[in-house]
Amino acid sequence: MSIPIATARAALLAATLLTPLSMAAAAPPSPARPAASAAMMAHGVPNAVFTLRTGISQGKMVYIGKGGAIDGQVHPTLTAHKGDIVQITLINGEGAEHDLTVPDMHVVSQRVNGPGASSTLTFTAGNIGSFPYFCTIPGHRQAGMQSLIQVVPATPKEADKGVSIVRDPADMPPPVGERGPMTVRYDLEAIERVGRLADDTTYDFWTFNGKIPGPMLRVHVGDSVELHLKNAENSVMMHSIDLHAVSGPGGGAVLTQVGPGETKSFIFKALHPGLFVYHCATPMVSAHISNGMYGMILVEPVGGLPPVDNEFYVMQGELFTAEPNGHTGLQEFSFDKPMDERPEYFTFNGAVGPLTTEHPLHARAGDHVRIYFGVGGPNFTSSFHVIGTLFDRVYANGSLESPSLAGVQTISVPPGGSAIVDLTVPVPGKYIIVGHALTRMEKGLVGALIVDGKPRPDIFRANDNPNAKVHASP
């Protein structure tokens, strides 16, 4: 699917805003890559990704596999399934001019001239068979610089079943407690993976550390935070991170635009206590957020927060699939639906209903429960509500510098915003967690808090004598 003009303009604007001043003088554009046949150009996320490096072996110029099953192989055979979107990146390893063509697929790379130069081509493996790839520079193929792409029948793959990308809401670091400011290091990795969206439905998620949301980061006000962001070597996209707790351009995004295999880091001081969202800020920003690249950082105040029995971490998100809600199989991202703000799915912690089956929240009757709630978005406000109880205390907007609220039924949380809610549930049972725009339950936005314990008929019970006369107080 081609990107609409409005989307392209938005991405260009975002890229401009994220460019550091030191990078304002851009390098001259590289020569245009020869166009591939429109019939063979791939639209979607590549799922058969290869990297080849040029080099010298036994006195001859060769292609050498880099990474994965072909690592170190000379003139490796590249294997893909019919229907795969194939991506081949060619890196110049020894300085001589080279390229790579797959004539049967009607694609040819840009020429790479000089050590480290690279070019990438992408195509759909439309037919079964063996197809040569080779260098078109005169004499190079004749000297042996060639091999094969083997396209085999499509078969079910383990990844197609979908791994769980859902972060357990109980996956929380311990409280920071009483201490002074210190330097804290966090290592995050951008990981692209096919995961389970719903029963028999998968999606190519983009994540921080393989789960949605990304890990909860927990620091103390005044801490210096050293954050390292790595982009996995098998990633297709560039990624970054913008933390709303950061006081600095782009929230860190201008310093962490990382390509596949790269790592960048920066240091910031946590100046304000509160619960803050972080997310990827690489254009198209809304696509990176929707695909799962969001999380939160808790900056504890001096003295910490009041202790509770249970802490949970929940975030709301939206997914814009090309096919309607309920379609099975691997789903693709739609570039049109985000522009119209038409999500097919609303999720808690990345998927449809995982907080009711895979990872429901658990507590005992009378426990003091705290939920750190945020909205990744990218677009929709949440009306966060737990059916059957009230919030004893709410830190609205994630602020720990403002007075808290008491006795709150529902709290509004905007995209990129958060709230901390404390509650005590004296009566055992199953309490449904929702956004109170309740039609979103039909699109996946539902969870459960399961409370064990002894019944409390003094608070809640069935009426065993509904016909009895009731004497109302005057």
Other beta carbons within 10 angstroms of residue 54's beta carbon come to 25
pLDDT of 5 over the 50 cut: no
Residue 441's identity, in one-letter code, is M
Query: Which domains occur in the chain, in start order?
Result: 5-20+33-152 (2.60.40.420), 183-452 (2.60.40.420)
Measured CA to CA, the distance from residue 77 to residue 195 in angstroms comes to: 28
pLDDT of 350 over the 60 cut: yes
Tell how far CA 397 is from the center of its chain.
Answer: 23
- pLDDT, residue 471, reads 62
- pLDDT, residue 7, reads 38
CA dihedral (277, 280, 281, 283) positive or negative: negative
Mean pLDDT on 4-31: 38
Q: Say how many CA atoms lie within 13 Å of 216 toward its Cβ.
A: 27
51 falls in which pLDDT band (50, 70, 90)? very high
pLDDT of 158 over the 80 cut: no
More confident residue, 173 or 8: 173
Tokens representing 455 are 């019944």
| 385 annotated to a ligand binding site | no
Residues 60-69: tens digit of each pLDDT: 999 999 988 8
| 135 annotated to a ligand binding site | no
Say whether the peptide bond before residue 338 is cis (omega within 30 degrees of 0).
no
376 falls in which pLDDT band (50, 70, 90)? very high
159 falls in which pLDDT band (50, 70, 90)? very low
- pLDDT, residue 9, reads 36
Mean pLDDT on 275-297: 97
DSSP 264-319: EEEEEE--S-EEEEEE--SSSHHHHHHTT-EEEEEEEPTT-PPP-SEEEEEEEEEE
- pLDDT, residue 441, reads 95
- pLDDT, residue 128, reads 92
Measured CA to CA, the distance from residue 39 to residue 450 in angstroms comes to: 53
- pLDDT, residue 148, reads 96
- pLDDT, residue 430, reads 97
Winning range, highest mean pLDDT, from 197-201, 262-266, 334-338: 262-266
Tokens representing 4 are 């609409």
Residue 160's identity, in one-letter code, is D
Measured CA to CA, the distance from residue 449 to residue 315 in angstroms comes to: 15
Worst-scoring range by mean pLDDT, 44-58, 310-324, 421-435? 44-58
Q: How many angstroms separate the Cα of 326 from the Cα of each of 95, 198, 315, 359?
A: 51, 8, 22, 21
CB-based contact 61:145 (threshold 8 Å): yes
Mean pLDDT across the chain: 88
- pLDDT, residue 35, reads 35
pLDDT of 26 over the 80 cut: no
pLDDT of 11 over the 90 cut: no
Q: How many angstroms separate the Cα of 124 from the Cα of each of 38, 106, 260?
A: 11, 10, 21
Strands (E), 36-84: 48-57, 60-65, 78-81
Mean pLDDT on 334-361: 95
CB-based contact 86:123 (threshold 8 Å): yes
Mean pLDDT on 365-375: 98
CB-based contact 190:258 (threshold 8 Å): yes
- pLDDT, residue 61, reads 93
Residue owning tokens 């038409």: 342
CB-based contact 240:222 (threshold 8 Å): no
pLDDT of 3 over the 90 cut: no
29 falls in which pLDDT band (50, 70, 90)? very low
- pLDDT, residue 48, reads 86
CB-based contact 342:389 (threshold 8 Å): no
- pLDDT, residue 473, reads 55
91 falls in which pLDDT band (50, 70, 90)? very high
- pLDDT, residue 44, reads 53
User: pTM, whole model, 2 decimals?
Assistant: 0.70
Cα Rg of the chain, angstroms: 26
| 239 annotated to a ligand binding site | yes
CB-based contact 188:213 (threshold 8 Å): no
pLDDT of 113 over the 50 cut: yes
Measured CA to CA, the distance from residue 281 to residue 15 in angstroms comes to: 9
| 279 annotated to a ligand binding site | yes
- pLDDT, residue 30, reads 38
Mean pLDDT on 121-142: 93
Measured CA to CA, the distance from residue 269 to residue 134 in angstroms comes to: 52
Tokens representing 363 are 């507590």
Length in residues, the chain: 474
| 75 annotated to a ligand binding site | no
pLDDT of 130 over the 90 cut: yes
pLDDT of 37 over the 50 cut: no
